[in-house]
Amino acid sequence: MTTTLAKPAIRPARPEFSSGPCAKRPGWTPENLRNAVLGRSHRSKLGKARLKAAIDQTREVLEVPADFLIGIVAGSDTGAVEMAMWSMLGARPVQLLAFESFGKDWVTDVTKQLKLPDVEVLSAPYGQLPDTSKVDPAKDLVFTWNGTTSGVRVPNADFISADREGITICDATSAAFAQDLDWTKLDVVTFSWQKALGGEGAHGVLILSPRAVARLESYTPAWPMPKLFRMTKANKDGGNKVSLDIFEGATINTPSMLCVEDALDALKWASSIGGLQAMQARADQNLKVLADWVAKTPWVDFLAATPEIRSNTSVCLKVVDPAICALPEDAQADFAKKLASLLEKEGAALDIGGYRDAPAGLRIWCGATVEASDLEALTPWLDWAFATVSAELAAA
């Protein structure tokens, strides 16, 4: 028999659990942006200094090796990934890992837009990882470290050879600052401020290893290169030379200096709490709050098939209650949407519906800018929403 629960007395102090743009860092106010370089050129001495500061603080907090280049580029994480693919792929055969929506987008880019002839896709359904033992060190590799839309991550980079011949392009937008990125195995790493830093959208961060730089300088793609993707200039010998000024704060196009200042504020906060290890610990603790609740809650489970591949940022949940699972797929999707809608109406959780291409369910951001206390306050509301929507369904 379906019963309703009493409405919880306490709501999360900050109900922002969106997976992007994500919750601002604790204590954030617009006043933090008062030093933004507004009404000035981003190419002014002051503007370039703030952009360079964002690059330098990213290196410090994310613990990026000193010989890697870091640039701020257009188009969020998507722009950064596509910039790398358009500039570097085609020199070798390519493999792609596709186990969620954005990984599948990169497959479309490579096969249907770039139309590369020698491409292998290693795929897996939502909730699982592909067979990474098939990764070939002779080929270039494109993959997401953490599937933002599936709640699945690679547990480590052991599947990548240290003496590989190909380059690796890693979309790490929902992994950066929360998971251990093995820089010895990664040649291109991308992310956006709007994820783990709780920053604003439209800007991407592109990180290049010396091997990636060597690829840029030794290989010229056969296709025309849009201005936003051009990272090299012809030298007097007719070869390519990486435009180092891009990685010193001279962006290709005009960035929002307000967004730059917001990213600097988030990076300063990250340093103040203990840097990368503290950011990772906060995300792990947030995941633990939900994991402890899932363990005692029969109607819900993680979408990720096993704990070792479970994301500690974009936590995806599925409804496993037998009565709901017996419904047609469209009815299950409608049930999940009603859960998210009811929680938003109550001001208990905002933007936690599953991604549009993912299986029906909920997606709760657990990155470092989210407080564990807010997740603890959320779980009774999740139970209340399930009981309420189930009762409505039974009465219909």
- Residue 260 carries which side chain, given as an amino acid letter? V
Residues of the chain with CATH 3.40.640.10: 30-270
| Cα–Cα nearest to 252, from 236, 267, 230, 274 | 230
pLDDT at 26: 98
Contact yes or no for 121/107 (Cβ under 8 A): yes
pLDDT at 267: 98
SS3 280: helix
* Per-residue pLDDT reduced to its tens digit, 131-147: 999 999 999 999 999 99
The dihedral through the CA atoms of 174, 177, 183, 187 has a sign that is positive
The dihedral through the CA atoms of 35, 41, 43, 45 has a sign that is negative
Which residue has 């009811």 as its token pair? Answer: 342
Q: Rounded to the nearest 5°, which phi and psi values hold at 283?
A: -65, -40
Per-residue pLDDT 10s for the chain (396 aa) are 456 789 999 999 999 999 999 999 999 999 999 999 999 999 999 999 999 999 999 999 999 999 999 999 999 999 999 999 999 999 999 999 999 999 999 999 999 999 999 999 999 999 999 999 999 999 999 999 999 999 999 999 999 999 999 999 999 999 999 999 999 999 999 999 999 999 999 999 999 999 999 999 999 999 999 999 999 998 877 788 999 999 999 999 999 999 999 999 999 999 999 999 999 999 999 999 999 999 999 999 999 999 999 999 999 999 999 999 999 999 999 999 999 999 999 999 999 999 988 888 999 999 999 999 999 999 999 999 999 999 999 998
CATH architecture of 30-270: 3-Layer(aba) Sandwich (3.40)
Contact yes or no for 225/87 (Cβ under 8 A): yes
Question: What is the layout of strands, in order, in the sheet containing 69-74?
Answer: 69-74, 203-208, 188-192, 168-171, 140-144, 94-98, 119-123
pLDDT at 1: 42
Residues of the chain with CATH 3.90.1150.10: 275-395
pLDDT at 32: 95
Instruction: Give me the helices (H) in the chain, please.
Output: 45-62, 76-88, 101-108, 210-218, 257-272, 275-295, 322-325, 329-345, 372-395
Class of domain 275-395: alpha beta
Question: And the tokens for 105?
Answer: 């987008």
DSSP letters, 144-208, are ESEETTTTEE-S-STTS-TT-SS-EEEE-TTTTTTS---GGG-SEEEEETTSTT---SSEEEEEE
